[in-house]
Chain A
Amino acid sequence: GAGVSQSPRYKVAKRGQDVALRCDPISGHVSLFWYQQALGQGPEFLTYFQNEAQLDKSGLPSDRFFAERPEGSVSTLKIQRTQQEDSAVYLCASSLAQGRTEAFFGQGTRLTVV
């Protein structure tokens, strides 16, 4: 497809359940970012990949959060033992190169932990 694709669009998880969120970036985009957007807030940075290398994971809120991009294309954000405070929209963005080029965002995955 032409844009960044995220799946699923909506996910309801019971507290304590593990979840995996998928991001398909635009083909050829080197940089990939994950952001967390709580209700009524701006997106907050979670982690950044350049190709398959995770260069910055300073925004991951706890060791329950894990992200990977093994072949430098599709990325997965995994959350273990979900908690209610994990409820948010998780946005993925990709860009052709870092910094000066536009980051294109997916529609996000809305995670609700009950």
Chain B
Amino acid sequence: SAVISQKPSRDICQRGTSLTIQCQVDSQVTMMFWYRQQPGQSLTLIATANQGSEATYESGFVIDKFPISRPNLTFSTLTVSNMSPEDSSIYLCSGDSHSYNEQFFGPGTRLTVL
């Protein structure tokens, strides 16, 4: 199983600013994924990050708002840009070693935008 850490664990930000969330895996994983969980809701996939290529975004999410980097097989970042209160959510990253394997999740970053 993979152990995934995220930084920061929580943050309170002002509208119009940006926040970069880091995700570190203790072993190499092929795919990493970023999810958003709005208050009281389920998890929604933002994008899939494959090393060495641009991230693939789900419908409703765009690169200008959520730029993602994946510089190697154990690390990824998600930036939430030009934040508004509607971006207040928990952001979670996950990874697996193969597309059919069990996915493990980081502890999440709890973001509040004022």
Are A and B physically bound partners?
A: no
